[in-house]
Amino acid sequence: MQVLAAIIAGGLIGHFAPDTGVALKPLGDAFIKLVKMVIAPVIFLTIVTGIAGMRDLGSVGRVAGKAFGYFLTLSTLALIVGLVVGNLVQPGAGLNIDPATLSSGDVGSYVAKAHDTTITGFLLGIIPDTLVGAFAEGNLLQILFVAISVGIALALVGPAAAPLLAVLESGAAAMFRLVAIFMRAAPIGAFGAFAFTIGKYGVGSIANLAALVATFYLTALIFVLVILGLVARLAGFSIFTLIRYLKGELLLVLGTSSSESALPSLMARMEAAGCPKSIVGLVVPTGYSFNLDGTNIYMTLAALFIAQATNTHLSLGEQLLLLGVAMLSSKGAAGVTGAGFITLAATLSIVPSIPVAGMALILGVDRFMSECRSLTNFIGNAVACVVVSRWEGGIDEAKFAAVFQRGEFEAGVLAAPVERDSD
């Protein structure tokens, strides 16, 4: 309730006192920095202790294979959904904007970042320059690489690594307790971030692009309730129960426009719901880079909007090219605010038919769509964690039934992360 009240208060201040709202931006930034500060050690310690505790390295490869198969399937489906809806609704039709009149100055920085990303550079970028370099830069993929490597090494060492493993498990418990402490500041962070969003861009800024924003939100809602809902039902739980269970984290994601702000809490919640620690540690962080359903819907839908608004006709072959490029460019995108916009720039820079300058059309409302992207990504990764856990048959059925069948979870919005078992 504190987070919800903070979002409402921030929105009111941003609307009626825009300058004050913009000035409150450091509150949101500070909270996100606090959470990002502990994400690297939380992910590292969770994955290392999880893999080392498995002992059977074959199970690690099996879990990873199932997770990536799921990610690829759902991510591709999300891209197709955005493409189909964009063609059916055509939110950009009728705007008749001449691409020559668009200024690319506002989007230049995003395009520059996009051009810096190549497939080879992306793959090489997974390997850090030094063992601690990944932690210094906070690069999620590099942290995953180091954590998986160390976890495998400890598993191969066997009983001799037990003392170090015990220390790492104690460190993981301390990190999650630190997360619980930082989460006390969540209402302040959500208040500052939402006040800035409304104060900077204003609710009125979405009026001219209401069709695109409404189409995106509706498409994301359909994807979550219908497609993810069906996946959840096949895995033995209700998507509505999952949303209720994670409502506190979802409000935090809404207020900060970043799914990364709730990553540690999501991992704790999934363990509390009966998912094995080893699977949670592997699937959730990896999903933040490879399972971005909301970002994928946004990319194809936004690309078609720009093409329609500038009267750029895209043939079936060009749309399939867009789909293929988006499948590659979306992998490895971070779950932070603005990452989806950079990924879109990378996609359009490779598809020559669509003018990159057209991104200026949606720059003003991207922040509002970022919230929906983050929420969809967050729910998608929660579903993925339960599904892979169910496939592996490792779910604690008593905890799972308590949460997803009897609904026995606390009513509080931001409960402290659970204590982590050592087994």
Q: What is the pLDDT of residues 376-385, one digit of tens each?
A: 989 999 999 9
Q: Contact 86/216 with Cβ under 8 angstroms? A: no
Q: Contact 289/145 with Cβ under 8 angstroms? A: no
Q: Is the pTM of this model over 0.85?
A: no
* Domain enclosing residue 245, as ranges: 2-404
Query: What pLDDT does residue 231 have?
Result: 94
Give the CATH number, domain containing residue 160. Answer: 1.10.3860.10
420: in domain: no
Q: Contact 303/85 with Cβ under 8 angstroms? A: no
409: in domain: no
Q: Contact 199/17 with Cβ under 8 angstroms? A: yes
364: in domain: yes
- Number of domains the chain is built from: 1
422: in domain: no
Q: In 300-335, which positions are buried (b, 16+ CB within 10 angstroms) versus exposed (e)?
A: bbbbbbbbbbbebebeeebbebbbebbbebbbbbbb
Q: How confident is the model at residue 337 (pLDDT cuts 50, 70, 90)?
A: very low
Share of the chain above pLDDT 90, in %: 10
417: in domain: no
410: in domain: no
pLDDT digits (tens, 9 = 90+) for 55-111: 666 677 788 888 889 988 998 899 899 889 988 988 877 777 666 655 555 554 544
CA distance 206 to 362: 9
415: in domain: no
413: in domain: no
